[in-house]
Structure 1
Amino acid sequence: MSALAGKVAVVTGGAGGIGAAICAGLAAAGASVGVGYNRSQGPAAELVAGLARGAGQSHAALRAPVTDSAALAALAGAVDARWGRCDIVVNCAGTTRFVPHADLAGLDDALFDEILATNVRGPFAVLRALHPLLARTAATAGAPGLVVNISSIAAVTAMGSNVAYCASKAAVDNMTKSLARALAPAVRVLSVSPGLADTEFVKSLDPAWRDEQAARTPLQRLALPEEVAGAVIAAATHLTFTTGAVIPVDGGRPLA
C-alpha cells in the first residue's frame, strides 16, 4: 500500500495505544511519520524502529509537548528541517483521570485546567505551529493539507472518565468545524470520534467493567486501535472532499 507515498505525517501522542496504531497505519500506507511524544521518548523511539519503511520513507521520534508552544515551534522547525514538508497532522495527545460525574469536589481546578489545556488548547497550538508548513506544502502539492483531531463519543453522550473530559471532547469537535471553515481550502480539518478503544490500558482495567461497556455497544465489542487508525487513513486517502466532519468509530454506542 503506497497511497501516502512521499507524504509526511506528524502524530502527537504517537506512543500511546491509539497513537501507535495510527503511526503504524500511516507508515504502512507509505508516509514518513513523526512520532510526537511528551514524556515517552523511549517508547516513541522503539515504535519508530518498528515502523514500515519503503523507498523514500524515514521516520523520527520528535518531542511534542502540546501545552508548550515554544516546544511546538521547535517541533515545526524540526519537521521542516528533516522533511521540508508536512501533509498530515494527527492530534492524538490527550489526558484524563477517572472522577465520578457527581463528585464535584473530586474534579479539582488543577485537573480541570490540565484536561482543557491538553485536550483543547493542545490541538489548537499544534495546528497553529504547523499551519504555515501545512499551507506551504498544500500550495506546492496542489492538494489541501489534513488535520485529524482524535475526539471521543463522550462529546455526544456526555458519559466518560469525568465531566471535564466530556466537555473537552465536545470542544474539540466544535473547534474542528470552526477551523475547517477558517482554513479552507488550503487545509482540511476532521475529527475521528472513537468509542472506548481496547488499548492495553483499557485491558488492564476491571474486566467486568470492560465487558459491560462492550455489552452496551450495539456491535457488542470495543473499538480496536487499528479501526481508529483506519478512519484516519480513510480521511487521508478516500474522504478527500470531506472537511469539518466528525467521523464516528464507536460501534453505534450513542444509539444504546
Structure 2
Amino acid sequence: MHGDIGKGTQPVAVVTGATGGLGAQICRTLAAAGYRIAAGYRSSADAALALVETLPGSGHCALAAPVTDSAALARLAADIGERHGRCDVLVNCAGTTRFVAHDDLDGLDDALIDDVLATNVRGPFAMVRALRPLLAKSDAPGGGVVVNISSIAAQTAMGSNVIYCASKAALDNLTKSLARALSPGIRVVSVSPGLVDTEFVKSMDAAWRDEQASRTPLGRLAQPEEIAQAVLAAARDLRFTTGCVLPVDGGRPLR
C-alpha cells in the first residue's frame, strides 16, 4: 500500500455496476487496499450481496444504485451518509450497450440510443450530483475522487455501436467539465480500457477475440485486474491528477 489513504478511519468507495465482471474486480481491488465498499446494483441484489460476502476487510454493503433513477440515487446518498458520513471514492462503472454494426443505422433504434445515453452519460452525472456533498467531506489525501470507467472507443470510434462510442466520448468530456466544476476538493478522472477479457468477452467467438488482441501493440486483451489497479492508482496515488483520461489499452490507438 502506498502511504496513508485516510485519516484514522477506513475510506469509503461506492462502485456502480458492481456485479459485472469489471465492477466486481474493482470492488475486490479497492477492498484489498483498505476501502469499505458500497457495491451498487440495478437489479442484481443477490449477486451484489454475494459479492460483498467475499470481499476482504469489513464494513462493506450492497445498495441499490439504478443510475437512471435520480430519486433512487438520492436515497442511496442518504444511506451512505447515515452509514459513513462521507464518500471518498465514487467509481462510475455501470454501463450498457448492444452490438449493432456501425453501418446498420436502422438497427440502432431510438430505445437503445436513449438507454445507452441515459445509462452511460446521464447516469454518471446523476451519481456525482447525488454524492457530491459526501465526496466533499472526504478527508483522504487528495480529497474526494470520481473515477469514470470509459472506453478506448471514445477515441477510436470503434466499438459495439455508434452511440456507445459517442457515449464514452461524452463521458470523457464530462470528466473534464466536472473536474473543473468540482475543484479543488474533488478530483475527477476517466480510466479508459481497451477490450477487457471478462467472462462475457471470453464467451464470444475466439477468432474475433484473437483478432482484437492482434490489433493491440502489446498483443493481448486487458485483464480486469489491470483496470482495477488503474482505478486504485487514480483514487489513492495520483493525488495531483484530475480532468484527464488514463488509458489502459495496450497501445491500441497506435494501430
Between the two proteins, what is the percent identity of the paired residues?
68
Q: Report what 2:22 is aligned to.
A: 18
CA contact (8 A) 1:32 1:58 kept: yes
Partner letter of residue 34 of structure 2? G
5+ unaligned residues in a row in structure 2: which ranges? Answer: none
Mapped contact 1:25–1:233 kept (Cα < 8 A):
yes
Match of 1:91 in 2: 92
Q: Distance in 2 between matches of 1:206 and 1:11?
A: 30
Computed over aligned residues only, the root mean square deviation of the Cα atoms, in angstroms, reads 1.2
User: What is the rounded CA distance, in whole Å, between the counterparts of 1:122 and 1:237 in structure 2?
Assistant: 24
Paired with 1:156 and 1:137, the residues of 2 have a C-alpha distance of: 32
Aligned partners of 2:142 and 2:240 also within 8 Å: no
Normalized against structure 1, the TM-score is what?
A: 0.96
Q: What are the residue-to-residue correspondences of 1:145-184 with 2, within 5 Å?
A: 145-184=144-183
Aligned to 1:244: 243
> Is the Cα–Cα contact under 8 Å of residues 141 and 239 in structure 2 kept in the other structure?
no
Structure 2 match to 1:52: 56
Instruction: Compute the displacement of 1:184 (Å).
Output: 0.2
> Is the 1:4–1:26 Cα contact (8 Å) retained in structure 2?
no
- Work out the CA distance in 2 between the residues paired with 1:199 and 1:185: 35
> Partner residue of 1:186?
185
Amino acid at match of 2:126: A
Unaligned runs of 5+ in 1: none
Kept in 2: contact 1:189–1:244 (CA 8 A): yes
The one-character-per-residue Cα deviations of 1:183-242 (angstroms, maximum 9, x if unpaired) are 000100000000000000000111111111011111010000000000011112211000
Is residue 2:83 matched to residue 1:82? yes
Q: Give the TM-score taking structure 2 as reference length.
A: 0.96
Establish whether residue 65 from structure 1 lines up as the match of residue 34 from structure 2: no
SS state of the match for residue 49, structure 1? helix
Contact 2:216 2:251 in 1 (8 A): yes
- Deviation of the 1:143 alpha carbon: 4.0
Could you list the runs of 4 or more consecutive aligned residues of structure 1 that deviate by over 3 angstroms after TM superposition? 1-5
* Aligned residue number for residue 104 of structure 2: 103
Give the 3-state SS of the residue equivalent to 2:120 in structure 1: helix
Q: Give me the whole-angstrom Cα distance separating, in 1, the residues matched to 2:190 and 2:181.
A: 15
Change (3 A) 1:136 1:237: closer
- In the alignment, does 2:39 pair up with 1:35? yes
> Which amino acid counterpart does residue 76 of structure 2 have in structure 1?
L
* Superimposed CA distance per residue, residues 73-127 of structure 1 (whole angstroms, 9 cap, x where no aligned partner): 0000111111121100000000000000000000000000100000000000000
Matching residue's letter, 1:120: V
Alpha-carbon distance in 1 for matches of 2:49, 2:141: 32
Give the Cα–Cα distance (whole angstroms) in 1 for the partners of residues 129 and 84 of structure 2: 19
CA distance in 2, matches of 1:225, 1:80: 30
* Rounded Cα–Cα distance in structure 2 between residues aligned with 1:20 and 1:41: 13
